[in-house]
Amino acid sequence: MIQIYHQEIGDMWYAVALENERVLATAFSPNEGKAIEYLLEHLPYNKPFMVAEEPNPSSMNLLKTLRMIFDGKEVSYKFDTDMDYLSQYSQKVLQCTSLITIGYFTTYGAISKIVGGSPRAVGRALASNPFSLLIPCHRVARADFTIGGCSFGEKTKMELLQREDRGYEEPMKLKVYGGILPVFPIKYLKR
């Protein structure tokens, strides 16, 4: 059964859904109800769930990790995300996006060149990212380096990126699925 945990840390609510130590969805919002709503919208259909009274050690670690990511801190801990209920295409987009290093961003078009489809298809896949913060869809921008959309709003997306800015100067190239994904320092974003 899917276990849902949520907690207010600082001025933000974080919510996580786990099943047998595998992460099915994560969410955050300054509003408790919106965090839970987003989480529930991204759970697999027809699977029972329950809201747990108290977080267990795994969920507590995940909740704290989400807060660290929100604060712009680097995290090295990897969680086992369950993407089995997502389309193959969405899985590829999310796996590619998960490789974008903190302090950098890429574009929807660059991801589409790696995984196939169009930049718009990549945007749709990222708009339904069930692993907010954990898979950094906020690190993907438009081809003209403007911020682009975000389920939690463009202002929140820009704030996340500003907290992650490490002052890098030069773009990098990541090897992904046999292709090259260009990533750019956050300072390249047009504000």
Beta bridge partners of 175: 180
Compute CA distances 111 → 56, 76, 114, 141, whole Å: 36, 23, 5, 10
**Residue the block writes with tokens 């207010």:** 8
Q: How many residues does the chain have?
A: 191
Structure tokens at 188: 């390249």
What sections of 18-133 are H helices per DSSP?
32-41, 57-70, 88-97, 108-115, 119-127
17, 133, 134, 137: the active-site residue: 137
- Asked if 137 is an active-site residue, the reply is yes
With contact defined as beta carbons under 8 Å apart, do 172 and 180 qualify? no
Distance separating alpha carbons of residues 44 and 53, to the nearest angstrom: 21
What sections of the chain are H helices per DSSP?
32-41, 57-70, 88-97, 108-115, 119-127, 154-164
Determine the distance from the C-alpha atom of residue 146 to the mean position of all C-alpha atoms in its chain, rounded to a whole number: 18
Which residue numbers are catalytic? 137
